[in-house]
């Protein structure tokens, strides 16, 4: 299994690079220059590596935000919206509690963003558990609502007066996360998703709760016969997952932007789902998967700037890589 | 509320209905055959892009429509292969299709940026102030209904979505017909996307599909997988999009972001009240493998 992955993953990666090379050549761009710029942009310097870790932080959290509910059979496609609402609450909590010392403010602010994710999940999880309504559509629709809501807040009530851009005023410095390197954006918050990944892995695989959650995800019927309290387990997994996506938004605000904007990096919630798929819904495997995705997204920006390749290419590339890898894995699984 | 507002609203309701109805018709075939295609949002973006690009380069809106359909048909072969031939979970395959479709449209738009910026004049009105798209959409919905409920082909599609094993023993090539249904659905998302660029706006914008693909899937469930009722359900959401747009133009005292949210609120309310009664095809999302 492990050995197979060592073969399948590079193969999928190279195959996707080859397919995208065709698209690049059509656009008149040398694929080698383009791919080289992805690499230098993501790992080529200390700054590049720090940018990759900065991008990995929300990706790993949204991946876990998808994974934990998924293991209980609940499709949380709402990571994107939960992240934005998390960013909102982090900003508001920072305004309210900013007067306290940093050691107190930051936990409160991050807890606020976690709470925001939970709040944004209440309607979908209620509809799923109490009314039996598919959560997929409710969580997706709420993403569109959340992003528009943040657009509204940052153009009107929360907009900083006099600022030409639609963004809120900067949050108090006491709520800023400490930077690790003086000249880079990397902040101490980047260890939080890694801790979360390990914790969720341990909960899933070493506790009764995790055993029950996995039982529900495998067969809801069997879990029912075994007397597991299904609804309660689904609610807890969904709500904690959503909280982690909210936390991703909180870390973006306290660690990177320091103000609320609707122009947070887009689609982190959706890329998180692809990370979870690539990591086979195992939080530990999602650590390298999110690092890889972060490198592609950061490198993609460099590729746009220095090789003139439109950013959409990265969407195509990561979708194709995921596509090819899961296809080969599924085929290998069936052969056995 | 004056008469102008109401007639304008009615007219733009029908215009806004077209992309949703096209996509919903295709999704009905896909789901009736047992395949949930969640990627139509991204597929529509690809269709919107290629439709406009082809129309700009050839100068013909009709060629644009055709290329939009072909490009989406090709794009959906990825999804069909993944979900039918390989048997990967359809939700994951659909989400991948979404990202892939969005990415292709973004990449294409930037690659041909100067040509795309020029835009094109959309289809002109031919009857009652509407252009060809709404008539085409309604006609396709009716023809689709006839095919689905009055022909052997339709019977076969419904059979493989309800009980693929029985259909197989009756000699129906389950996976081949599912593949064809998904590809037809894909071609319809091409029309849906082109309805935006060639039927309404004349320009391409990143993120312009704005949830219409998801709304179309909700329409499919509300209309109980029936193309005739899909006409009505699509008009309901066309109305939501049109009402928001009209109120923004007339300067309603509500922030325009909330008016843009109207379709999503409509969707949530519809889901809340009507989803429980919906009964999907029995074999929806169940991959079929011969034993």
Q: What's the pLDDT score for residue A253?
A: 93
Enumerate residues 6+ apart whose C-beta is below 8 A from B263: B211, B215, B237, B240, B241, B244
| Rounded average pLDDT over B12-28 | 92
Closest CA relative to residue B192, chosen from B166, B162, B216: B216
Residues of A in contact with B107 (CB under 8 A): 23, 310-313, 315-316
Say which of B92, B106, B218 has its CB closest to residue A315: B106
Given CB atoms, is A220 within the 8 Å cutoff of chain B?
no
Determine which of A148, A269, A279, A297 to mutate to test the interface with B (most B C-beta atoms within 10 Å).
A148
Distance (Å, whole) CA A107 – CA A105: 6
B32: helix, strand or coil:
helix
User: Mean of the per-residue pLDDT values for chain B?
Assistant: 88
| Residue B183 is assigned to a structural domain of this protein | yes
Distance (Å, whole) CA A59 – CA A64: 9
Q: How far is A63 from chain B, CA to nearest CA, in Å?
A: 13
**What are A42-61's pLDDT values in tens digits?**
888 888 899 999 999 999 99
Given CB atoms, is B220 within the 8 Å cutoff of chain A?
no
Closest CA relative to residue B125, chosen from B15, B40, B218, B226: B15
Cross-chain Cβ contact B87/A334 below 8 Å: yes
**What are A225-283's pLDDT values in tens digits?**
888 888 889 999 999 999 999 999 999 999 999 999 888 888 899 999 999 999 989 99
| Residue B200 is assigned to a structural domain of this protein | yes
| Residue B80 is assigned to a structural domain of this protein | yes
Q: What's the pLDDT score for residue B187?
A: 94
Q: What's the pLDDT score for residue B236?
A: 92
Helix or strand holding residue B218 (H, E) = helix B212-222
Q: What's the pLDDT score for residue B119?
A: 76
The answer on pLDDT for B273 being more than 80 is yes
Give the number of C-alpha atoms closer than 13 A to the C-alpha of residue B237, restricted to the C-beta side: 35
Residues of A in contact with B81 (CB under 8 A): 327
Given CB atoms, is A137 within the 8 Å cutoff of chain B?
yes
Determine which of B92, B102, B219, B253 to mutate to test the interface with A (most A C-beta atoms within 10 Å).
B92
The structural domains of chain A, ordered by start, are 50-294 (1.10.3470)
| Residue B13 is assigned to a structural domain of this protein | no
CB pairs under 8 A between A and B: 122
Cross-chain Cβ contact A323/B82 below 8 Å: yes
Beta-strand ranges (E) seen in chain A are: none
pLDDT band at B1 (very low <50, low <70, confident <90, very high): low
Distance (Å, whole) CA B191 – CA A18: 30
- Closest chain A residue to the Cα of B275, Cα to Cα: A133
Given CB atoms, is B258 within the 8 Å cutoff of chain A?
yes
Q: What's the pLDDT score for residue A41?
A: 85
Residue A43 per-residue DSSP state: H
pTM of the model: 0.90
CA B21 from centre of chain:
6
Q: What's the pLDDT score for residue A285?
A: 92
**What are A179-228's pLDDT values in tens digits?**
888 788 888 889 999 999 999 999 999 998 888 889 888 888 888 888 88
| Residue B241 is assigned to a structural domain of this protein | no
| Rounded average pLDDT over B201-216 | 88
Residues of B in contact with A77 (CB under 8 A): 95
Residues of B in contact with A278 (CB under 8 A): none
Q: A residues 26-45 near B, CB within 8 Å?
A: 27
Contact indicator for B109, B49 with CB cutoff of 8 Å: yes
| Residue B54 is assigned to a structural domain of this protein | yes
Residues of A in contact with B96 (CB under 8 A): 274, 277, 319, 322-323
| Residue B102 is assigned to a structural domain of this protein | yes
The answer on pLDDT for A5 being more than 70 is no
- Closest chain A residue to the Cα of B289, Cα to Cα: A334
The answer on pLDDT for B254 being more than 90 is no
The answer on pLDDT for A2 being more than 60 is no
Overall number of domains in chain B = 1
Q: B residues 27-66 near A, CB within 8 Å?
A: 38
Residues of B in contact with A155 (CB under 8 A): 257
Cross-chain Cβ contact B268/A23 below 8 Å: no
| Residue B27 is assigned to a structural domain of this protein | yes
Q: Over the Cα atoms of chain B, what is R_g?
A: 19
Given CB atoms, is A22 within the 8 Å cutoff of chain B?
no
**What are A283-324's pLDDT values in tens digits?**
999 999 999 999 989 988 888 888 878 888 888 888 888 888
Say which of B82, B91, B211 has its CB closest to residue A144: B211
Given CB atoms, is A191 within the 8 Å cutoff of chain B?
no
Distance (Å, whole) CA B133 – CA B17: 10
Q: Which domain holds residue B84?
A: 18-209
Distance (Å, whole) CA B254 – CA B267: 20
Given CB atoms, is B205 within the 8 Å cutoff of chain A?
no
| Rounded average pLDDT over B153-165 | 86
| Rounded average pLDDT over B233-261 | 88
Residues of B in contact with A314 (CB under 8 A): 103
Say which of B86, B100, B261 has its CB closest to residue A316: B100
pLDDT band at A4 (very low <50, low <70, confident <90, very high): low
Q: What's the pLDDT score for residue A150?
A: 93
Given CB atoms, is A11 within the 8 Å cutoff of chain B?
no
Say which of A133, A312, A334 has its CB closest to residue B271: A133
Contact indicator for A24, A155 with CB cutoff of 8 Å: no
Cross-chain Cβ contact A127/B105 below 8 Å: no
Given CB atoms, is A213 within the 8 Å cutoff of chain B?
no
Contact indicator for B116, B51 with CB cutoff of 8 Å: no
Q: What's the pLDDT score for residue B116?
A: 79
Given CB atoms, is A331 within the 8 Å cutoff of chain B?
yes
Question: Poorest-confidence range of A107-111, B21-25, B65-69, B248-252?
Answer: B248-252
Cross-chain Cβ contact A319/B99 below 8 Å: yes
Q: What's the pLDDT score for residue A31?
A: 85
């Amino acid at each position: 299994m492990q050995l197979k992955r060592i073969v399948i993953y590079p193969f999928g990666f190279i195959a996707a690079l080859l397919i995208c090379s065709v698209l690049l050549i059509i656009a008149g761009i040398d694929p080698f220059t383009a791919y080289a710029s992805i690499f230098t942009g993501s790992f080529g310097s200390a700054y590049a590596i720090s940018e990759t870790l900065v991008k990995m932080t929300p990706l790993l959290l949204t991946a876990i935000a998808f994974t934990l509910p998924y293991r209980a059979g609940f499709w949380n496609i709402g990571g994107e919206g939960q992240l934005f609402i998390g960013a909102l609450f982090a900003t508001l909590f920072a305004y309210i509690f900013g007067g306290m010392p940093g050691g107190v403010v930051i936990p409160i602010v991050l807890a606020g963003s976690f709470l925001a994710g939970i709040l944004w999940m209440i309607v979908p999880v209620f509809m799923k558990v109490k009314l039996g309504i598919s959560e997929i559509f409710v969580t997706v629709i709420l993403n569109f609502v959340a992003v528009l809501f943040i657009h509204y807040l940052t153009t009107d009530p929360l907009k900083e007066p006099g600022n030409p851009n639609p963004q809120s005023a900067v949050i108090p410095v006491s709520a800023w996360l400490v930077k690790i390197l003086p000249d880079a954006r990397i902040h101490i918050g980047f260890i939080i998703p890694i801790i979360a990944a390990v914790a969720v892995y341990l909960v899933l695989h070493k506790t009764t709760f995790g055993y029950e959650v996995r039982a529900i995800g495998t067969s809801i019927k069997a879990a029912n016969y075994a007397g597991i309290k299904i609804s309660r387990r689904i609610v807890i997994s969904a709500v904690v997952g959503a909280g982690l996506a909210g936390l991703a938004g909180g870390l973006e605000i306290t660690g990177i932007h320091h103000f609320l904007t609707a122009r947070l990096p887009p689609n982190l919630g959706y890329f998180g789902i692809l990370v979870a798929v690539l990591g086979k819904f195992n939080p530990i495997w999602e650590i390298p998967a999110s690092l890889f995705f972060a490198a592609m997204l950061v490198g993609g920006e460099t590729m746009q700037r220095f090789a003139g390749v439109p950013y959409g290419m990265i969407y195509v590339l990561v979708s194709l890589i995921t596509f090819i890898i899961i296809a080969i894995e599924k085929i290998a699984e069936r052969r056995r | 509320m004056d008469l102008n507002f109401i007639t304008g609203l009615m007219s733009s309701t029908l215009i806004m209905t077209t992309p949703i109805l096209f996509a919903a018709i295709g999704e009905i075939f896909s789901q009736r055959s047992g395949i949930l295609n969640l990627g139509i949002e991204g597929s529509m973006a690809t269709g919107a892009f290629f439709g406009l690009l082809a129309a700009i380069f050839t100068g013909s809106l009709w060629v644009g429509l055709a290329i939009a359909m072909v490009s989406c048909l090709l794009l959906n072969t990825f999804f069909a292969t993944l979900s039918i031939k390989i048997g990967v979970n359809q939700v994951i395959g659909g989400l991948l299709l979404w990202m892939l479709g969005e990415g292709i449209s973004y990449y294409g738009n930037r690659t041909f940026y100067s040509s795309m910026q020029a835009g094109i004049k959309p289809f002109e009105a031919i009857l009652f102030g509407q252009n060809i798209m709404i008539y085409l959409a309604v006609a396709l919905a009716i023809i689709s209904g006839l095919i689905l409920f009055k022909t052997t082909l339709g019977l076969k599609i419904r059979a493989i979505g309800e009980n693929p094993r029985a259909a197989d023993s009756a000699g129906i090539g389950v996976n081949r017909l599912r593949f064809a249904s998904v590809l037809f659905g894909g071609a319809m998302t091409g029309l849906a996307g082109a309805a935006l660029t060639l039927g309404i706006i004349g320009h391409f914008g990143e993120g312009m599909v704005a949830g219409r693909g998801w709304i179309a899937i909700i329409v499919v469930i509300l209309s109980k997988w029936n193309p005739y009722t899909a006409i009505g359900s699509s008009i309901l959401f066309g109305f939501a999009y049109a009402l928001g747009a009209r109120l923004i133009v007339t300067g309603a005292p509500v922030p325009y972001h909330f008016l843009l949210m109207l379709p999503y609120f409509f969707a949530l309310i519809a889901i809340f009240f009507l989803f429980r009664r919906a009964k999907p095809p029995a074999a929806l999302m169940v991959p079929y493998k011969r034993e």
